Structure 1
Amino acid sequence: MRRLADLPGVDALELKALMKPRIADPDERHDHPEVDAVAVEAFGLTLDQAEATALPADWPDHLKDLHRQSPAQLVEAFEAEGWDVTDKKRKPLRVLPLFALPLALAARGVAGTLPFMPEPDHPETGWGAGLKAEAGRFRTR
Protein backbone atom coordinates (compact mmCIF):
# COMPACT_ATOMS: atom_id res chain seq x y z
CA MET A 1 0.00 0.00 0.00
CA ARG A 2 1.39 3.41 -0.90
CA ARG A 3 1.45 6.11 1.77
CA LEU A 4 0.36 9.72 1.28
CA ALA A 5 2.91 10.82 3.89
CA ASP A 6 5.72 9.40 1.71
CA LEU A 7 4.96 11.79 -1.17
CA PRO A 8 7.34 14.76 -1.46
CA GLY A 9 6.62 17.53 1.02
CA VAL A 10 3.53 15.98 2.58
CA ASP A 11 5.20 14.78 5.78
CA ALA A 12 6.83 18.19 6.36
CA LEU A 13 3.50 19.96 5.79
CA GLU A 14 1.83 17.51 8.19
CA LEU A 15 4.37 18.50 10.84
CA LYS A 16 3.65 22.19 10.19
CA ALA A 17 -0.09 21.49 10.48
CA LEU A 18 0.55 19.89 13.84
CA MET A 19 2.12 23.14 15.05
CA LYS A 20 -0.25 25.48 13.19
CA PRO A 21 -3.60 23.72 12.61
CA ARG A 22 -4.87 26.51 10.32
CA ILE A 23 -2.53 25.28 7.59
CA ALA A 24 -4.71 22.17 7.23
CA ASP A 25 -7.98 24.12 7.16
CA PRO A 26 -9.36 23.92 3.60
CA ASP A 27 -11.07 27.31 4.01
CA GLU A 28 -7.75 29.03 4.76
CA ARG A 29 -5.56 27.30 2.19
CA HIS A 30 -5.16 30.48 0.11
CA ASP A 31 -3.40 32.11 3.08
CA HIS A 32 -0.71 29.41 3.00
CA PRO A 33 1.12 29.20 -0.35
CA GLU A 34 3.16 26.21 0.86
CA VAL A 35 0.03 24.06 0.53
CA ASP A 36 -0.13 24.59 -3.23
CA ALA A 37 3.64 24.17 -3.48
CA VAL A 38 3.39 20.73 -1.87
CA ALA A 39 0.39 19.84 -4.05
CA VAL A 40 2.34 20.70 -7.21
CA GLU A 41 5.38 18.79 -5.98
CA ALA A 42 3.41 15.70 -4.96
CA PHE A 43 0.62 15.61 -7.57
CA GLY A 44 1.65 17.93 -10.39
CA LEU A 45 -1.35 20.24 -9.96
CA THR A 46 -2.60 22.93 -7.59
CA LEU A 47 -5.68 22.54 -5.44
CA ASP A 48 -7.58 25.00 -7.65
CA GLN A 49 -6.67 22.98 -10.75
CA ALA A 50 -7.88 19.82 -9.01
CA GLU A 51 -11.22 21.45 -8.16
CA ALA A 52 -11.61 22.67 -11.74
CA THR A 53 -11.10 19.18 -13.16
CA ALA A 54 -14.26 17.50 -14.39
CA LEU A 55 -14.74 14.04 -12.94
CA PRO A 56 -15.27 11.22 -15.44
CA ALA A 57 -18.65 9.52 -15.72
CA ASP A 58 -17.28 6.26 -14.32
CA TRP A 59 -15.88 7.90 -11.16
CA PRO A 60 -16.41 5.48 -8.22
CA ASP A 61 -19.03 6.31 -5.61
CA HIS A 62 -16.63 6.10 -2.67
CA LEU A 63 -14.57 8.94 -4.19
CA LYS A 64 -17.49 11.28 -4.90
CA ASP A 65 -17.92 14.40 -2.77
CA LEU A 66 -14.54 14.01 -1.06
CA HIS A 67 -14.85 17.49 0.43
CA ARG A 68 -17.98 16.41 2.34
CA GLN A 69 -16.58 13.17 3.79
CA SER A 70 -15.20 12.91 7.30
CA PRO A 71 -11.53 12.00 7.73
CA ALA A 72 -12.52 8.47 8.80
CA GLN A 73 -14.58 8.04 5.62
CA LEU A 74 -11.66 9.34 3.56
CA VAL A 75 -9.35 6.76 5.15
CA GLU A 76 -11.74 3.96 4.13
CA ALA A 77 -12.16 5.36 0.62
CA PHE A 78 -8.43 5.55 0.01
CA GLU A 79 -7.74 2.16 1.56
CA ALA A 80 -10.08 0.76 -1.09
CA GLU A 81 -7.84 2.46 -3.66
CA GLY A 82 -4.63 1.05 -2.14
CA TRP A 83 -3.51 4.16 -0.27
CA ASP A 84 -2.61 4.60 3.38
CA VAL A 85 -3.57 8.16 4.36
CA THR A 86 -2.90 7.84 8.07
CA ASP A 87 -0.01 8.79 10.31
CA LYS A 88 2.12 6.42 12.37
CA LYS A 89 -0.60 6.20 15.01
CA ARG A 90 -3.17 5.21 12.33
CA LYS A 91 -4.99 8.55 12.62
CA PRO A 92 -6.00 10.40 9.44
CA LEU A 93 -3.40 12.94 8.34
CA ARG A 94 -4.33 16.52 9.18
CA VAL A 95 -3.67 17.55 5.58
CA LEU A 96 -5.87 14.77 4.16
CA PRO A 97 -8.90 17.02 3.51
CA LEU A 98 -6.63 19.29 1.46
CA PHE A 99 -5.05 16.55 -0.64
CA ALA A 100 -7.92 14.06 -0.99
CA LEU A 101 -9.10 15.29 -4.40
CA PRO A 102 -5.65 15.79 -5.98
CA LEU A 103 -4.60 12.36 -4.72
CA ALA A 104 -7.70 10.69 -6.13
CA LEU A 105 -7.29 12.44 -9.49
CA ALA A 106 -3.59 11.60 -9.79
CA ALA A 107 -3.96 8.02 -8.55
CA ARG A 108 -6.70 7.31 -11.08
CA GLY A 109 -4.82 9.07 -13.90
CA VAL A 110 -7.47 11.73 -14.49
CA ALA A 111 -5.27 14.77 -13.79
CA GLY A 112 -1.82 15.35 -12.40
CA THR A 113 0.83 12.73 -11.78
CA LEU A 114 2.33 10.83 -8.91
CA PRO A 115 6.09 10.68 -8.44
CA PHE A 116 7.77 7.37 -9.11
CA MET A 117 8.34 5.41 -5.94
CA PRO A 118 9.95 1.97 -6.17
CA GLU A 119 8.21 -0.96 -4.60
CA PRO A 120 9.52 -1.76 -1.12
CA ASP A 121 11.97 -4.64 -0.82
CA HIS A 122 10.22 -7.82 0.17
CA PRO A 123 11.74 -9.62 3.14
CA GLU A 124 13.11 -13.06 2.47
CA THR A 125 10.65 -15.76 3.38
CA GLY A 126 13.25 -18.31 4.42
CA TRP A 127 11.95 -21.01 2.12
CA GLY A 128 15.40 -21.32 0.54
CA ALA A 129 16.91 -22.52 3.82
CA GLY A 130 14.31 -25.28 4.00
CA LEU A 131 15.18 -26.44 0.48
CA LYS A 132 18.87 -26.43 1.34
CA ALA A 133 18.23 -28.59 4.42
CA GLU A 134 16.04 -30.95 2.40
CA ALA A 135 18.73 -31.29 -0.25
CA GLY A 136 21.28 -32.12 2.46
CA ARG A 137 19.01 -34.85 3.86
CA PHE A 138 18.45 -36.25 0.38
CA ARG A 139 22.18 -36.52 -0.29
CA THR A 140 22.78 -38.47 2.94
CA ARG A 141 20.13 -41.12 2.14
Structure 2
Amino acid sequence: MTSQPALRRLIDLPGVADLELKALMKREYAEPESRAENPELDELSRKLFGLTADEAEETPRPAGWDGVERLPIPRQVAAFEAEGWDVTDDKRRPLRNLGHFNQQLWLAVRGVAGELPFQPEDDKPEAWVTSLAAEAARFRKR
Protein backbone atom coordinates (compact mmCIF):
# COMPACT_ATOMS: atom_id res chain seq x y z
CA MET A 1 0.00 0.00 0.00
CA THR A 2 1.53 3.31 -1.11
CA SER A 3 0.68 6.41 0.88
CA GLN A 4 -0.08 9.71 -0.82
CA PRO A 5 2.75 12.21 -0.28
CA ALA A 6 1.89 15.10 2.00
CA LEU A 7 0.89 18.34 0.35
CA ARG A 8 3.47 21.11 0.34
CA ARG A 9 2.09 24.10 2.23
CA LEU A 10 2.60 27.55 0.79
CA ILE A 11 2.36 29.09 4.25
CA ASP A 12 5.31 26.94 5.40
CA LEU A 13 7.66 28.52 2.87
CA PRO A 14 10.07 31.02 4.46
CA GLY A 15 8.49 34.45 4.81
CA VAL A 16 4.96 33.58 3.69
CA ALA A 17 3.51 33.25 7.20
CA ASP A 18 4.92 36.66 8.16
CA LEU A 19 3.25 38.31 5.17
CA GLU A 20 0.04 36.43 5.87
CA LEU A 21 0.02 37.88 9.38
CA LYS A 22 0.43 41.36 7.92
CA ALA A 23 -2.56 40.72 5.64
CA LEU A 24 -4.55 39.53 8.63
CA MET A 25 -3.78 42.72 10.53
CA LYS A 26 -4.37 45.03 7.56
CA ARG A 27 -6.84 43.80 4.96
CA GLU A 28 -5.55 46.15 2.24
CA TYR A 29 -2.19 44.33 2.30
CA ALA A 30 -3.75 41.41 0.41
CA GLU A 31 -5.09 43.63 -2.40
CA PRO A 32 -3.20 43.47 -5.73
CA GLU A 33 -2.53 47.23 -5.64
CA SER A 34 -0.59 46.86 -2.39
CA ARG A 35 2.47 45.46 -4.19
CA ALA A 36 3.47 49.00 -5.19
CA GLU A 37 3.63 50.13 -1.54
CA ASN A 38 5.02 46.85 -0.19
CA PRO A 39 8.17 45.81 -2.07
CA GLU A 40 8.66 42.86 0.32
CA LEU A 41 5.94 41.04 -1.62
CA ASP A 42 7.98 41.13 -4.83
CA GLU A 43 11.20 40.39 -2.93
CA LEU A 44 9.71 37.26 -1.39
CA SER A 45 8.18 36.21 -4.69
CA ARG A 46 11.54 36.48 -6.47
CA LYS A 47 13.26 34.62 -3.62
CA LEU A 48 10.73 31.76 -3.62
CA PHE A 49 9.79 31.44 -7.29
CA GLY A 50 12.43 33.36 -9.23
CA LEU A 51 9.96 35.91 -10.62
CA THR A 52 7.61 38.61 -9.40
CA ALA A 53 3.85 38.79 -9.89
CA ASP A 54 4.29 41.40 -12.64
CA GLU A 55 6.82 39.19 -14.45
CA ALA A 56 4.46 36.24 -14.09
CA GLU A 57 1.64 38.32 -15.57
CA GLU A 58 3.81 39.17 -18.58
CA THR A 59 5.02 35.60 -19.12
CA PRO A 60 3.56 34.13 -22.32
CA ARG A 61 1.46 31.07 -21.67
CA PRO A 62 1.94 27.97 -23.81
CA ALA A 63 -0.68 26.87 -26.30
CA GLY A 64 -3.50 25.09 -24.54
CA TRP A 65 -3.01 26.95 -21.24
CA ASP A 66 -6.27 26.68 -19.32
CA GLY A 67 -6.16 30.03 -17.49
CA VAL A 68 -6.22 28.34 -14.10
CA GLU A 69 -4.69 31.42 -12.45
CA ARG A 70 -7.84 33.38 -13.36
CA LEU A 71 -10.27 30.93 -11.72
CA PRO A 72 -12.04 31.96 -8.50
CA ILE A 73 -9.83 31.35 -5.49
CA PRO A 74 -11.88 28.40 -4.09
CA ARG A 75 -11.48 26.55 -7.40
CA GLN A 76 -7.77 27.35 -7.45
CA VAL A 77 -7.42 25.88 -3.95
CA ALA A 78 -8.82 22.56 -5.20
CA ALA A 79 -6.67 22.70 -8.34
CA PHE A 80 -3.53 23.40 -6.29
CA GLU A 81 -4.34 20.41 -4.07
CA ALA A 82 -4.54 18.23 -7.17
CA GLU A 83 -1.00 19.46 -7.99
CA GLY A 84 0.29 18.66 -4.49
CA TRP A 85 0.06 22.12 -2.90
CA ASP A 86 -1.95 23.31 0.09
CA VAL A 87 -2.59 27.06 -0.25
CA THR A 88 -4.78 27.40 2.84
CA ASP A 89 -4.19 28.43 6.44
CA ASP A 90 -4.57 26.19 9.48
CA LYS A 91 -8.35 26.68 9.38
CA ARG A 92 -8.44 25.57 5.72
CA ARG A 93 -9.24 29.08 4.45
CA PRO A 94 -7.40 30.28 1.32
CA LEU A 95 -4.39 32.40 2.19
CA ARG A 96 -5.14 36.11 2.08
CA ASN A 97 -1.95 36.67 0.07
CA LEU A 98 -2.64 33.90 -2.44
CA GLY A 99 -3.40 36.51 -5.10
CA HIS A 100 0.16 37.79 -4.77
CA PHE A 101 1.70 34.37 -5.42
CA ASN A 102 -0.78 32.21 -7.36
CA GLN A 103 0.47 33.04 -10.88
CA GLN A 104 4.10 32.41 -9.99
CA LEU A 105 3.21 29.13 -8.31
CA TRP A 106 1.12 27.97 -11.28
CA LEU A 107 3.89 28.81 -13.75
CA ALA A 108 6.49 27.01 -11.62
CA VAL A 109 4.30 23.96 -10.87
CA ARG A 110 3.65 23.50 -14.57
CA GLY A 111 7.27 24.14 -15.55
CA VAL A 112 6.52 27.20 -17.70
CA ALA A 113 8.57 29.83 -15.84
CA GLY A 114 10.21 30.39 -12.50
CA GLU A 115 11.07 27.62 -10.10
CA LEU A 116 9.66 25.79 -7.14
CA PRO A 117 11.31 26.41 -3.77
CA PHE A 118 13.78 23.78 -2.66
CA GLN A 119 12.33 21.10 -0.42
CA PRO A 120 14.68 18.66 1.29
CA GLU A 121 13.72 15.04 1.09
CA ASP A 122 11.78 13.72 4.04
CA ASP A 123 14.16 11.58 6.07
CA LYS A 124 11.50 10.24 8.44
CA PRO A 125 10.82 6.54 7.94
CA GLU A 126 7.40 5.53 6.72
CA ALA A 127 4.86 4.55 9.37
CA TRP A 128 5.06 0.83 8.65
CA VAL A 129 8.85 0.86 9.20
CA THR A 130 8.44 2.62 12.54
CA SER A 131 5.72 0.26 13.72
CA LEU A 132 7.74 -2.76 12.57
CA ALA A 133 10.76 -1.53 14.56
CA ALA A 134 8.57 -1.01 17.64
CA GLU A 135 7.11 -4.52 17.26
CA ALA A 136 10.62 -6.00 16.97
CA ALA A 137 11.70 -4.19 20.14
CA ARG A 138 8.68 -5.54 22.03
CA PHE A 139 9.44 -9.05 20.75
CA ARG A 140 13.06 -8.86 21.96
CA LYS A 141 11.92 -7.86 25.45
CA ARG A 142 9.76 -10.99 25.80
Common topology (TM > 0.5): yes
Q: TM-score, normalised by structure 2?
A: 0.81
Q: Which has the larger radius of gyration?
A: 1
What fraction of aligned residue pairs are identical, expressed as a percent?
51
Deviates more, 1:10-19 or 1:121-130: 121-130
Name the SS for the 1:31 alignment partner. coil
Distance apart, 1:131 and its partner CA: 5.8
Q: Structure 1 residues 9, 136: CA separation in 2 closer, same or farther (over 3 Å shift)?
A: closer
Match of 2:11 among 5, 11, 18: 5
What is the rounded CA distance, in whole Å, between the counterparts of 2:64 and 2:33 in structure 1? 29
84-93 or 109-118, larger mean C-alpha shift: 109-118
Residue of structure 2 in register with 1:113 after alignment:
115
The residue correspondences of 1:57-136 to structure 2 (distance < 5 A) are 57-59=63-65, 61=66, 64-67=67-70, 69-120=71-122, 121-125=124-128, 126-130=131-135
Name the count of aligned residue pairs.
133
State the SS of the aligned residue for 2:36.
Answer: helix
- The residue number in structure 1 matching 2:41 is 35
* Distance change >3 Å, CA 132–CA 46, structure 1 → 2: same
Contact kept in structure 2, 1:8 and 1:41, CA below 8 Å: no
CA RMSD across the alignment: 2.3
Shift of 1:114: 1.9
Please say if residues 9 and 41 of structure 1, whose CA atoms lie closer than 8 Å, have aligned partners that are also in contact: no
TM-score after normalising by structure 1? 0.81
Structure 2: any 5+ residue segments left out of the alignment? Answer: 1-6
Q: Which moved more, 1:3-12 or 1:85-94?
A: 3-12
Moved over 2 A (4+): 119-125, 127-137
**Alignment partners' CA distance in 1, 2:118 and 2:27:** 29
Q: Structure 1's 127 and 48: CA in aligned 2 closer, same or farther, altered over 3 A?
A: same
Distance 2:95 2:111 in 1: 23
Q: Deviations over 1:43-102 (max 9, x none)?
A: 11111110011111243x3xx1523x2221111110111100011111110011111100
Offset at 1:8? 2.3
Alpha-carbon distance in 2 for matches of 1:115, 1:7? 8
Distance across 1 between alignment mates of 2:108 and 2:135? 43
1:103 is displaced (CA, Å) by 0.5
Once the 2 structures are TM-superposed, how far is the Cα of residue 127 of structure 1 from its aligned partner? 2.4
